[in-house]
Structure 1
Amino acid sequence: MAVEATGGAGAVETAEERRRQQRGWYCYDWANSVFSTSVLTVFLGPYLTQIAKAAADAEGYVRPLGIPVRAGSYFAYAVSASVLLSVLVMPMAAAIADRTGRKKPLMGAFAYLGAAATAAMFFLEGDRYLLGGALLIVSSVSFSVAMVLCNAFLPQIAEPHERDAVSSRGWAFGYAAGALVLVANLGLYMGHEAFGVSESMAVRICLASAGLWWGVFTLIPLRRLRDRPATGGRAAGGPPRASLGQGWRQLIATLRDMRRYPLTLAFLLAYLVYNDGVQTVITQASVYGSEELGLDQTTLIVAILLVQVLAVAGALLMGRMAVRFGAKRTILCSLLAWTLTVGAGYFLPAGAPGWFFVLAAAIGMVMGGSQALSRSLFSHLVPRGKEAEYFSVYEVSDRGTSWLGPLLFGLTYQLTGSYRDAIISLVVFFAVGFVLLARVPVRRAVAAAGNPVPDRV
């Protein structure tokens, strides 16, 4: 049976062709998730901090571009710089993709730039902290931009009734790959002496392997995904020119355009709030485990693996729930689960890794599904022909505001001296996000964006 492509300006695709593209799309989550898991979450932070300390002066400072930076803060500052640059570049790249209809070449270019920068981390050794910071910024920005362009394919390759399941499978593929590669990397790292390599060499191999994995498996979506003709046309005067200033201007222009769709903005605000809570729990759980509960590094790494494995099952389970109950109701249920999980974390006894594993299991079960269904629900609220631009704002709201949760976490600890009080303070993000999302009439929002309304959404 032939069906009209969802983003295709009159193009007709068979259901089998659409499924082929969906399978290719899943493979990009499979390709790039190892970067966020093995590189950003586990290995790069401690290793780059060691390199910065080796290059520091007697007072413990390094001086990138002549700016004094305490070596222990160098990684955090590099991550912050990558977030700021991503906010500038993502809207610009997304606008070019929408106006030219060439999402796939841009996605491939940024994916391979990020993969190459990650693979080049093999050469991080000695006092090469500047190289490490530069590679981190390039790889992280490329990761974000390529992910925006990949997400923008979702409304084009999946019919409205399919998107919850398709998005959930993509997240499941990503978490499965992250867990698989992390197991291999941890085997090398923890048994490096048996393999005849030093600890630093083992870390460099783990970092580089993530880049190689990213590059190899990106070939599959680039072969299977298909660009659609642009619906808005290209601006007069030839190909668009790129500048960081254009990134800001494009972001502002897209936000102004979104004012025509206030219900889409209402959902984005709810997502901004509750996702900040999700991201903060992910980044601060290890701090809570080590500083408040007194758990060792091996326990924390096993907990990360447990989260990755169970996130696969959680994403698929919540995807099936969305088919029956709708994405909005399922996300609301996940926010209740997040609230209970974070609340339970407050009562965990110190020195008891078993209970921390239970907490990690609960996080894994709700994490993948809440993120996957948020992505698919937002895809219904995007006007046709503006997928990449709107998903760039979606990603900016993810990365550009991810400092609010850590700020509340840090301020609460500073004022109370208790990490338990800090972790319980994050409940506010899930409670407020729940209220904001509950107030969004998603069926009206889908119709207002000019899209067909699914039976359940």
Structure 2
Amino acid sequence: MGTDTVRTEASDDAAGRRREQRGWYFYDWACSVYSTSVLTVFLGPYLTSVTEEAADPAGYVHPLGVPVRAGSFFAYSVSLSVIAAVLVMPLVGAAADRTGRKKPFLGAAAYTGAAATTGMFFLSGDRYLLGGVLLVVANAAQSVAMMLYNSYLPQIAPPEERDAVSSRGWAFGYAAGSLVLVVNLVLYLAHGSFGVAESTAVRICLASAGLWWGGFTLIPLLRLRDRPPAAASAGAVSAPGLRQLAATFRDMRRHPLTLAFLLAYLVYNDGIQTVISQASVYGSEELGLGQSTLIGAVLLVQVLAVAGALTMGRLSRIYGAKRTILGSLAAWTLTLAVGYLLPAGAPVGFFLLAAAIGLVLGGSQALSRSLYSHLVPPGKEAEYFSAYEVSDRGTSWLGPLLFGITYQVTGSYRDAIISLVIFFIAGFLLLARVPVRRAIADAGNPAPERI
């Protein structure tokens, strides 16, 4: 074979890989709107108001005959969606690896979630039970789809490109979340000018997220391609939900360094997720800030997370992913310390805090995903990323529990927020102990020059 032919084939391979990568980015662009507009901003307060409308005089609703406080219904629905995802993800992940057909599974999960989200337009009056069912379906479907989406990363990006590709994916997601949230907030805050009621504006915002999710999912489905299953997965038989998850973790015991990284990730990511979920509570209850300030801070986080993800992706090329993540965990610790010292009624300080969170948020998550992808044995990408997603979502109660207990004991939200530094310090120490280059070799993968 001539040199020119080899060069042409290499060029074609690179062009095909870039085409897949661009298509892959667009799934984050498609689904992140659900996380930002639906889960973070609109659905919780709106579903709670619908549930309160349906409540009895004592403030309870009775789904399937079980008495539930109206104010707890949204939280319970989210918890139920996590349980559903934990049961489904390992089964789907193993089946995707076994057949090599990830794309049909990704399409089915994405369009199930998008349809459920679009159906939230019909959430009105006292239809709280409809809202709960749609939330459980959409949230579980998003978890399954994200697991499959993440599992494509080691297949579409060679080791040297993986940090940058993962970072661009997160940046695409945060950019879409910011864009659509701005449009939704304009509609919501000026609903009277558009001739619609406030509840109708919220339902339009919810449904638009589903339409956006479904519409842009077409791009990755057209550009990503399925690959033949690896010998390690071909012919394997999937067990039912929890048994399959247990089988996955038993298999991971053969790769203890992969498990060691996963443990470190679980610890510090729980801290990240808790800061995100409790920052608005801290801002409103401890700092006395108004709703407009809190919404503005959410937008600032989304916008700066784009720059943060791309910047940390570049830093990883110089210092390696592990060192860059360790640096971000130190930055998270410093951010919480500054937040603890913020005076009440200081919106500028809170915006600076939000800016710091945005700059480290996207990069921490993007580089964690790309680093983990190096530690996954070939042919078991979806199965191992199901454990990654299950662990991520299944342990996300530890941080809020510590936050709640600290507040209950001390009566201070400042003490509650500073208590979360334990997750970043412990995660830093656990990650620092993981010899990632040896972990990559043990998983049977080539290591990039800097890791």
Q: Give the deviation of 1:235 after TM superposition.
A: 3.7
Q: Give the deviation of 1:397 after TM superposition.
A: 1.1
Q: Distance in 2 between matches of 1:445 and 1:13?
A: 32
Q: Distance in 1 between matches of 2:219 and 2:131?
A: 29
Residues 185-196 of structure 1 aligned to structure 2 (within 5 Å): 185-196=184-195
Aligned to 1:216: 215
Aligned to 1:423: 417
2:306 partner amino acid: V
Residues 126-137 of structure 1 aligned to structure 2 (within 5 Å): 126-137=125-136
Structure 1 contact 149–388 (Cα < 8 Å) conserved: yes
Q: Distance in 2 between matches of 1:101 and 1:319?
A: 29
* Unpaired segments ≥5 residues, structure 1: 5-11
The reply to whether residue 225 of structure 1 matches residue 219 of structure 2 is no
Residues 21-420 of structure 1 aligned to structure 2 (within 5 Å): 21-231=20-230, 232-235=232-235, 246-420=240-414
Q: Give the deviation of 1:233 after TM superposition.
A: 4.8
Q: Give the deviation of 1:318 after TM superposition.
A: 0.1
Q: Percent identity?
A: 74
Q: List per-residue Cα deviations over 1:14-37 (Å, max 9, x = no partner).
A: 100000000000000000000000
| TM superposition score normalised by structure 2 | 0.97
Aligned to 1:448: 442
Q: Give the deviation of 1:221 after TM superposition.
A: 0.2
Structure 1 contact 119–209 (Cα < 8 Å) conserved: yes
3-state SS, counterpart of residue 192 of structure 2 = coil
3-state SS, counterpart of residue 194 of structure 1 = helix
Structure 1 contact 271–433 (Cα < 8 Å) conserved: yes
Structure 2 contact 233–379 (Cα < 8 Å) conserved: no
Cα RMSD (Å) of the superposition?
1.2
Q: List per-residue Cα deviations over 1:102-158 (Å, max 9, x = no partner).
A: 100000000000000000000000000000000000000000000000000000000
Q: Give the deviation of 1:425 after TM superposition.
A: 0.1
Q: Distance in 1 between matches of 2:441 and 2:382?
A: 20
Q: List per-residue Cα deviations over 1:298-325 (Å, max 9, x = no partner).
A: 1100000000000000000000000111
Q: Give the deviation of 1:251 after TM superposition.
A: 0.3
1:399 partner amino acid: R
Q: Distance in 2 between matches of 1:235 and 1:328?
A: 35
Q: Which runs of 4+ in 1 moved over 6 A?
A: none
Residues 5-24 of structure 1 aligned to structure 2 (within 5 Å): 14-24=13-23
Q: Give the deviation of 1:3 after TM superposition.
A: 7.5
Aligned to 1:9: none
Structure 2 contact 407–415 (Cα < 8 Å) conserved: yes
Q: Give the deviation of 1:273 after TM superposition.
A: 0.2
Q: Give the deviation of 1:72 after TM superposition.
A: 0.5
Q: Give the deviation of 1:453 after TM superposition.
A: 1.2
Structure 2 contact 233–380 (Cα < 8 Å) conserved: no
Q: Distance in 2 between matches of 1:73 and 1:327?
A: 40
If each structure's helix is expressed as a fraction of its own residues, which one has the higher value?
A: 2
Q: Distance in 2 between matches of 1:153 and 1:120?
A: 29
Q: Distance in 2 between matches of 1:254 and 1:129?
A: 37
Q: List per-residue Cα deviations over 1:170-208 (Å, max 9, x = no partner).
A: 000000000000000000000000000000000000000
The reply to whether residue 439 of structure 1 matches residue 438 of structure 2 is no
Q: List per-residue Cα deviations over 1:401-437 (Å, max 9, x = no partner).
A: 0000000000000000000000000000000000000
Q: Distance in 2 between matches of 1:453 and 1:310?
A: 30
1:358 partner amino acid: L
Structure 1 contact 2–15 (Cα < 8 Å) conserved: no
| TM superposition score normalised by structure 1 | 0.96
